Each structure stands twice: as structure tokens, then as C-alpha cells.
Structure 1
């Protein structure tokens, strides 16, 4: 028995009971994981419950009525009673798990209340009331919150996401002015109006306001009338500069082949070439993009399981942070200034690319990592992910319903928890580089597959080989694409060269997607809905148990093969009992000898 064991056994009960604190490691801090999961589950359940609450009951409740608060108050009271009960049990029993459950219940209470409050505010917004009850022609004041992209609705050429500032629900007869509104609306416009929209600017828009037929946006505004778009205020200067950089980059990519025009903007900014609405300068006439080829390429990417490459994710931020960190080290810049430079680079990248929920997750996690770097601490991916999810869902409760945020968080969780063990196991039979690629792909898909089943009931069977084949060129093409985006506004010749180099890497992706995605057995139909997602989780858990059992069996066989002759290597109940009996007899013999003396 060594010294550490003596210390633990001879310590008072309070110190011995806190031995788990001595074994705690920051690199595997799981404490916030159950809290984040409880918050997410509560928020999502509250959204679903609110949506299933009979709409007629919600319509009949007047604004400001006390009855509207019965549901959140009831949920809050129940959760608080449960939390207090668990805290009392933890105080009396001094059980560590009871405290964890109490914190999870408290955060579940917070998640449910914020979700119901957000849904209630959205339901009682004047724009939502008008679209739900009357609808028809109206005027709104709105600020553009996202770049203009191609329309997914027939008879319209582009769509723009805006945040309302006010609405005039009665345009005929009554003149009661604009009412304040903060609803998110998706605007559909004809080609002649697409070029008038600029991100960050404020407009007066006229059209038909209605409830959305699909998508995450709750309301649609279909522009119509004599002059439906009137600009009231310009956007901030930095928004104008960013928009100019983006337009210059797209003008550069128009000089590439069709695959480069589609894939280079998608890999760099998260917007496929066919989704960008060209706002070309006067006199510029670009060659048309083959829409059939673009649609086929997008479908093949999806079927081959590499569609995630066409969205901005944490990989962009990691590569940018590593480049900035190395540059600061070369110039011997202090750690705090380096962290500030990394955070600034994160913010600039988030402004340059297309806004999405995965970008939000990556930005917040990156800023947390930069803060840890400034304090001289190692960044902890799991803890940063849990705090990111917790803070985001409290401030933006609708994120719990976002597939993009869920996919991004699930991929990071899988890679943090399982990339190491899978890579270690795969490294026994594969080269190190290939083993790491396989580990990252498999780990990311462990938790994203159930979410993908909820979105589309099919399994991509060739996603692992597809990701392995394109992995060598992803980072290279991403970096050159970002460099082309950064210098397109001032050095178009250099940006053109960099974009062409990036398109050489995306050509490899295009060939892989066309080859693997075109196979008839690239995807397998799967049961849809929650049942299909649970079935995937069950199969993954069974496979994990089988792999662990086989690995343990192989390890035992290997240990038996290398054990010394005539000696037992390992431990069993019989061996432990024999050792204990020998030590007991020896102790009793020594005690008897001392007594006789």
C-alpha cells in the first residue's frame, strides 16, 4: 500500500469524501454537460408545448391578461418546488449527485420560462396578430439582417431576412400610425427590387404580410404595389464595407468554372454560387450559371454526406485562430494582445460570412477560448461548448429549435468525447493520418445522425470514405478562399489567382461527390421521425458495446500472451481474496508475537 493510499485511508471522512475533487481534471470537465442538456430539453419541450396549446385559446386571451401568465407561472412553481426538495435532500444526505440534479432542475426551470416568454412575445407581436387575424396589404419599417439570396418561392427572385421596427396594420381608411414591432420576417421580392436592399439599412416596405408556410421564419412579406421599397436610412459604414468586399469576391468567382462558381463561395462564405443574387456594376455582364448542374452538384454533396463542407463551421475559426496565434508568436507579441487579435479575427470572420446558427456557436466558443488564452489557461472544448449552449439558449430561446445549432453542437460534442478513443483504436490497424480522419468523421456523426434523420429519413452510407477523400484539400481550399475574400476589394488580380487555387481543391470535392453521391447505394432509406432517431441511437449504443467488449477481450488475450511463465498476470476475485487472507494472517501473527513479548 503506497503513501497516497495511506493518506486517503487515514484522512478524516470529510477529506476522504472529497477525494473525487482531487481526481478532477479540467481537460475532462463534464459538470456542465447535464446542465446544458437539461436546459435544452426543457426549452425545446416548452416550445413544443406552446405550439400544441390550442390556438383559439391563445387568440381569445387579450394582451396583458393575467390568464396568459398562468402557464409559465405554473411551470415555474412546479420546477421550483422540485428544486427545493432536491436541495433539502442534498443538505441532509450530503450526496453530491443531489446537488447536480438540483442545478439541472433550476436550469430546466430557466429554460422553460425563457422559451414560453419568447413564444408569448412572438405570439402577441402586432405583426403576428395582423398576419394571423386579418393579413393583406400593409406597410412595415424594417432593418435588413441578412444578405440577399435567391428565392425558394415561385414567382419571386430573391429573399431577404429583416427585423421589423414598426407596422401599419390598417392602410385603408384609418390613420393610426405605426405600431412598434420586433418580429422577424422573410421578405420575397422581384428582381427589380433585389438590388435595392443593403444589409443594415432601414426600409419602408409595402406588401402582403402573412404567416409562413414553411421554414423557421414565422412571417412572410410578399412585396407588391407601385413603390414597395423605400430606403429610409443607410446601414452602418462597416456593413457597407463588408458588403462591398462580398460583392467583389462574388465578381471574382464568376470568372471560374461552374464548379468553382458553386463551391468556392460555399466553402468560403457558406453561400453556394447559385444562391447568390448578383448585384453587378453597370456594364458588367457575367456568364449564366448552369442551374441544372448546380442543383445536381448540391444533391450529390448531400447524398455523399459532405454537405457540411458548404457551411461555415468551427473549422474556419480554428484555422484563422491558429494563423493569428503563430503570427503573434513570431513577432513576440504578449499573450493578452494575441488573445485580443484572435478575438478580433473571430468577429471579422463572423461579419464576412453568411450569418447562420453554426457561425453563432463557433463565434461564442471561439471568444471563450480567446478569453481563456488571455488568462493563461488551456481552452476546454467540452466546458466551452456547454457554457455556449447554456448562454445562447437563455438569451435566444428559439435556438433550441434550430437544426443548424443542434447539428453544430452535436458534431463538436461527438468529436470532443469520442475522437480520441476512436482514433486510438483505429490507429492499431490504419496509418495515423487516416486513423485521425476516420475518428473525426465517425465521432462527429455519432450525435448528428439522429438529427439528420429528423430532417430527412435516410442514412449516408459513404460519408466516411467521402470525408476521408476530401479531407486533404478542405483546409487548403478554405484558407485560399478566405484570402481571396480578404483581398478581392483591393487586389482583384491576386484574389482571382487565390480563388482559382481554391477551385482546384473544390474540383477534388466535386469529383468525389459526383462519384460517390451518384451511386444507387450511397444512401439507405430509414424510418423518419423520433422513432428513426431513437433507432439510430440504439444501434450506435449497441455497436459501441460490441466494440468495447471485443477490445477488452483482445487486450486480455494480448496480456495473457506476454505474461511471464509460471506467474498470473491480472486480477480476479480469487487472487484478491488470497492476497487479503495472506496479509491478514501475517498481521495477526505479528500482533500475537508482539503480545507474547
Structure 2
């Protein structure tokens, strides 16, 4: 959710809203989104069809026909520009190299600062421009947008704007974007030249701010750079998850809220210095440009920057402020400049929040003002409500869940949001000039930051704080229709009180629902939690539970355990220490008693091991020894792997040395295989009798690294796949799933089915999904 405060126009400045620009922007966006999934030819055909539609519609100078023509005109622009970009993306020579996964040397210009993946910190990702690629089949040259995937700390030292060469492999990118390929680096980068001056300036500001916040204790030290310039690299992962689940994430993503505060402060200083209109506009433009350069080309930053530019131009021209045309112009220019923005969730959420602010928040504040509420207080109430309403359909469509505590948390956060952002940005500005001055500003910013940290952590601990709702386009559209109906009824004066009463009653009804509902079904055997691209499974253990892996996100595993009513964990099994299995450990341990942790040797996955060591505290860490048996009530666990002598030299030693367990739950057998790949599965085949089970947790998220004999030996009735929607690894591979289905297994996957619970009642296995 976003909260972008904007000055309300005086009554004399209110003019009849002109919807032509928003309709053109809608047409541009829709055509760009459609064009990204097609080729250049389909884009040109779309453009031709929309030109004919626009010509027919413009015969009507008002009404529905004129509106259709206006949208079609925008679609002509969007389709034409997107077709040109798609033609570059689909270059035949590059497509041939990606299809064959060619190895060679890539020359790249890094576009964004390389960052550790939140799900796999050993992996570094960045967007880049591929200038050339040399392979045995030949050399291609161009300027393609690519996703860079690498490993190694050397990449974290590379700044945006830096040209590099590196041995790499080209792979096909996901459809629906302008990304032409995925460049997998096969070594450290070789730097060529130096970044441009703006990129060097941005790197210096970030480095000096990082030095300044060392004077502040954690977690405040990690939060201040995020509040100032959107740099979350130093932010505690659990705190970042709490910010997401409580709807405070907009504060650590540079957006229109940041630009309005900073540009507004600069304009106030310019007015105090008696600067003229041109001087004020120049000062505001410099401030906005500096934020864009330092924060980088994030979707919300670009949208807000164009809006700020339009507002400054209106100020220079002495025209009344027109926020909706400014937003429409921002969408229009940003999407035409980079059609890839049309497919970016961050851009859509940013625009939706702004639309909610402009169309709903100010209107809803008016009745409160008529009841003598001060305007700032009225807006503090209506802005988070309006923006939450606007972004909810997108959150549902994206499967991100809806925060039930977002509105009250944001109301309380408004007490310090503006001062803490201004102080954080001030710390960055001061540190850029003199680090000791930045340290003082950072210490001042840390005071209100503590309030935000307390709010995020407290809100995240509320039972049912994150409501896991069904995801997908249909559910997103359905929620939009429902919310539009509710908003429409609220604008009918005679029905307003009745609708508000129903909403209040529903809200009060959620309290006992969150506190007292949930729990495992009768005959519960195992639950696979929906934690995105990762694994987390739960089995009964008498009056407690066994948790196998914690997934990548503390909030998601915590929500799953809450839904199952788990208050005590008899054994936490970590199959291996990759981050998609361990980063959620805080969500398992926070507020719950964990008796012991079972895990293999850490091997190369040192980051995950360090994270577990930090969170485990005094909880015993047990070694996984083949043949060891654990019994909890009607649940029996036998350790099958890793081998007593760990496997070495495989494609991924941590994966192949995963803890593999055979569980017996009240007569139902479950094979929990971690991420074992070819070598690990062949090692388990030596114990084929133990592999024949009723339920199989498919190894390594259903990747292509499967041994057919292993899958056939397990011969499950039900196969479970823990996988995130649209993941960058292409999981699951259809081949292994086809083998299981051919043998009669029912395959369930969390990206399509959500949380999956297997139970046995009256001798029959039952599967329940909750998406």
C-alpha cells in the first residue's frame, strides 16, 4: 500500500475533470501489455485494427464512441512502440543462441545495482544491457535487455552503469517481458572502463550513507537506507517480511510519497529564500532528479518523477494543479519510453495507489471535514483506506495476500512517516558531503524509525494479520468488481450508513475468526504450506508438530502454522541450508517452543547455516544420521539420508546431501526428499523398500534433475510439489510430473493449489487444497 500525500486544490481551482488523457494512457498500457506476449507482426496488426477503430469512433464527438476512439488512439501508440521493442527482443541470432543455451563471452552494461536474491542469497541478480555475445556459433551485437544471474561476492562490488565482460551461458527468458535472455555468469566480472558520472554519484551517496548508519544500532541502521533511497540490502530479512505483511512496504520503496516530501521541502526552502517561479521549479527539478539517480529506475520512482515534472511545469506556467492528468501523462510517457513497465507489478501497484488517493481519499475526507475533523487528520484516515481499496484487486491477482492490519498500522505510522523519511533522506544528503554530519542525521532518524519497527513487528504478530486469499486473474477481477460495488454504494447517501454498518460488522467478525478458527482436519497426515518458491511441510506430532523446512519467508510459514493451530514444534527438520528452505525460520520460532532442530552438515550453504545458528539460540542442533528414528505420538520418522559419507563434486552438494525422511503417520507413509538430485536419488535407491510410499514430496521443486527409477520406486498415490508461481528456474519440469501421473499419482503443486493438506479417513486418502 502506498500513502502519497498531495495538496488539495482550492475550490476556485477545481475544474471539470477531463478523462481524455487517462483513456489514452489506458489504451497505451493495455496495448503494450498485449504486445509483450506477442511478436512484432501481431503488434502491427493490433495497431492497424485500433487505427480503424479510432477512425470510426472519432466520428462521434462525445459519448461512448468518442471514449472508445480515445482508448483506441492510445492503443495505436502503445502497439506501435511495443512492436518496435519486441522486434529487437526477438532478434533471430540471439534467439538461436538462447534456444541452444550457448556458452561464450558476454559484454554487458549493468543497469541496476546487483543484489542478493532474497530467496537465494548465494545468487546475485541485476538487470543489464547485453551489447555483444561471442560463442562458437558466432558473435551477435546489439543492445538487449537481459537478466543477469551470477554468484560470488565480486558482483556485489559492481556499480550500476558499469561495463563488464564475463564468461556466460544464455538461456531463454520468461515470456511477457522485454527481457531477451537470461545471462548466467560463469565467473567473476572483468570491469571495462568506469560507470558514468550519474552512476558514480549514486554509488558514492549509497556508500557514504552506509558508512554513516554504522553509528546507529541494528535494525534501525538497515532501515534508514531503505527509507532514504530504497536500499534494502542492509535491512533485516524478518523485518522486511514484517513490513510487507503489515502494508508498510511503501515506505521502503521510493515513490511519490518520498518525492512529494522532498520536493515540497525544497520548494519551501526556495520560497523562504524568496526565489522566483523559475528558481523554485529549478530547485524542485534538481531535487527530483537527484532522488531518481540515487534510487535508480524503479517503477514507482519513474512514475512519481514524471508526475513531479508535470506538476513543476504546471507551477512554472502558473496553471492550477491537475493531478489526474499528471498521473495519466506519467503512465503514458513511462510506458511509451519503456513498454516493459506495463508488465511490472510494482508499477501497477504504484499507479493503483495513486488512483485510489486521487479518486477516493480526498472525496472520503470531505464528510469528515464537515464534521469538524482537521483536514490532516481526515486525510490520515482516508488515505490508507483508499489506497488499500485500490491495490487490493492487484494484490489478490498477484497472490500476495491481503493484510488485515494494514490500515490501522498505516494510521499509526503516519505519526512519524514524514519526519522519518525526511530525516533519512537528510542523512543521505549530509553523508554525501561529510560522513560525520550524516551520522548525526542518522541518529536523529533512528528515533522515529524505532516506532515503525515496533509497529511492523507488533502488527505482524497479530493472528491472521496476512489473509491468504485465492490468487489469479479471475479472483483479482472478482475482488475489483466487489470493491467497486461497495464503493458505489457508499456514494449513495441513503445507503451509506447501512453499508458502513455491514463493513464494521464484518470487520468485527474477522476478529474471532482470526483468533479461534483454523486447525488441522481430522485424520491429518501432512500439510505442504504455500511459501512461494521454497519448501515447508508440517506433520502431526501428538500435541505438537514436526516442521520440515521453513521456506523463504517468515510471514508465510508463520501464517501456515497459525492456520494449523501449531503452538509447539517437537522437531524442526531443515533438509539443507539453502535460503528457500531456511530463511523463514524466524516465522517457525517466533512465539513457539521448538524442542530441537535436525539438519545435515552445512557444506557450501554457509549463509543459511549462519542464519539458522543466529535464530536457533539454545535450541539443540541434531546431526542427521542415517537410520536414526524419531517418534512423536502416532508419527514415526526414519532418517534415510544424507549418506554417512557426504556426496562431493555433484552439481549441487547441499541439494544432494539433503536430509531425506520416511514418515509413518497413523499408517500412512510419506517420503520427504528435500532437494536431492541425481546423485542423491541414486544413493537413496539403495534402500528402495523404504521409498515405496503413499505420499511423495517431489525432490527439488520438481526440477528436471530426477532419476526415473527413483520416482517409479516411490510409486506414490499423491505427489506434492512446493513451487512459486512464475519462478525464474522453470520449476516444475513437466517430464518428472508426467512420469508420476502416468503411474497414477495425483500431482498437486502450491503455485496452482495453494496450501495442500493430506489426510486419511476410513482408510481413504483425502487431499484438500486452500488457494
- In the superposition, the TM-score normalised over structure 1's length comes to 0.75
Q: 1:379 to 1:73 in 2, by over 3 A?
A: same
Alignment partners' CA distance in 2, 1:164 and 1:364:
27
- Map Cα deviations across residues 282-309 of structure 1 (whole Å, 9 max, x no partner): xxxxxxxxxxxx2222222222122211
1:339 paired to 2:298: no
Of residues 8, 23, 45, the one that matches 1:34 is 23
Alignment partners' CA distance in 2, 1:261 and 1:150:
18
1:221 paired to 2:163: no
1:265 paired to 2:240: no
**Structure 2 counterpart of 1:594:** none
**Structure 2 counterpart of 1:44:** 33
Of residues 179, 183, 191, the one that matches 2:152 is 191
Q: Is the 1:144–1:161 contact (alpha carbons within 8 Å) kept by the matching residues of 2?
A: yes
**Structure 2 counterpart of 1:108:** 75
1:442 paired to 2:385: yes
- Map Cα deviations across residues 84-131 of structure 1 (whole Å, 9 max, x no partner): 22234x2xxx54553343222122222223323322321226444311
Of residues 197, 210, 215, the one that matches 2:171 is 210
Q: Is the 2:90–2:180 contact (alpha carbons within 8 Å) kept by the matching residues of 1?
A: no
Of Structure 1 and Structure 2, the greater strand share is in 2
Alignment partners' CA distance in 2, 1:28 and 1:87:
20
**Structure 1 counterpart of 2:419:** 476
Alignment partners' CA distance in 2, 1:234 and 1:125:
31
Alignment partners' CA distance in 2, 1:183 and 1:553:
53
**Structure 2 counterpart of 1:248:** 208
**Structure 2 counterpart of 1:493:** 436
Of residues 258, 264, 270, the one that matches 1:316 is 258
Q: Is the 1:271–1:354 contact (alpha carbons within 8 Å) kept by the matching residues of 2?
A: no
User: Displacement of 1:399 after TM fit?
Assistant: 1.2
Alignment partners' CA distance in 1, 2:132 and 2:270:
47
**Structure 2 counterpart of 1:394:** 336
Alignment partners' CA distance in 1, 2:269 and 2:216:
31
User: Displacement of 1:473 after TM fit?
Assistant: 0.8
User: Displacement of 1:161 after TM fit?
Assistant: 2.5
**Structure 2 counterpart of 1:520:** 463
Q: Compare relative contact order (CA 8 Å, sep 6+) and give the higher one, 1 or 2.
A: 1
Alignment partners' CA distance in 2, 1:152 and 1:522:
22
Q: Is the 1:126–1:180 contact (alpha carbons within 8 Å) kept by the matching residues of 2?
A: no
Q: Is the 1:313–1:358 contact (alpha carbons within 8 Å) kept by the matching residues of 2?
A: yes
Alignment partners' CA distance in 1, 2:156 and 2:43:
44
**Structure 2 counterpart of 1:586:** none
- Map Cα deviations across residues 429-477 of structure 1 (whole Å, 9 max, x no partner): 7843432112111221222111111222522111110000111111111
Q: 1:95 to 1:504 in 2, by over 3 A?
A: closer
Alignment partners' CA distance in 2, 1:549 and 1:95:
27
Q: Is the 1:125–1:181 contact (alpha carbons within 8 Å) kept by the matching residues of 2?
A: no
Of residues 295, 302, 305, the one that matches 2:244 is 302
- Map Cα deviations across residues 136-159 of structure 1 (whole Å, 9 max, x no partner): 421111112112322346483533
Alignment partners' CA distance in 1, 2:120 and 2:421:
33
**Structure 2 counterpart of 1:77:** 48
Q: Is the 2:227–2:425 contact (alpha carbons within 8 Å) kept by the matching residues of 1?
A: no
User: Displacement of 1:391 after TM fit?
Assistant: 1.9
Which structure 2 residues correspond to residues 295-444 of structure 1 after superposition, within 5 A?
Answer: 295-427=237-369, 431-432=373-374, 433-444=376-387
Q: 1:125 to 1:24 in 2, by over 3 A?
A: farther
Q: 1:139 to 1:215 in 2, by over 3 A?
A: farther
SS at match of 2:191: strand
Q: Is the 2:112–2:128 contact (alpha carbons within 8 Å) kept by the matching residues of 1?
A: yes
**Structure 2 counterpart of 1:561:** none
Rg comparison, structure with higher value: 1
Alignment partners' CA distance in 1, 2:185 and 2:287:
37
Alignment partners' CA distance in 1, 2:279 and 2:121:
52
Alignment partners' CA distance in 2, 1:157 and 1:395:
30
Alignment partners' CA distance in 2, 1:344 and 1:180:
36
Q: 1:501 to 1:125 in 2, by over 3 A?
A: farther
Q: 1:332 to 1:551 in 2, by over 3 A?
A: farther
Alignment partners' CA distance in 2, 1:215 and 1:28:
34
User: Displacement of 1:427 after TM fit?
Assistant: 4.3
- Map Cα deviations across residues 24-45 of structure 1 (whole Å, 9 max, x no partner): 9646333322222222222223
Please, what is the CA RMSD of the aligned residues?
2.7
Q: Is the 1:461–1:524 contact (alpha carbons within 8 Å) kept by the matching residues of 2?
A: yes
Q: Is the 1:164–1:183 contact (alpha carbons within 8 Å) kept by the matching residues of 2?
A: yes
Matched positions, count:
485
- In the superposition, the TM-score normalised over structure 2's length comes to 0.59
Q: Is the 1:202–1:233 contact (alpha carbons within 8 Å) kept by the matching residues of 2?
A: yes
Q: 1:403 to 1:192 in 2, by over 3 A?
A: closer
Name structure 1 gaps, 5 residues minimum: 1-22, 51-57, 59-67, 276-293, 556-597
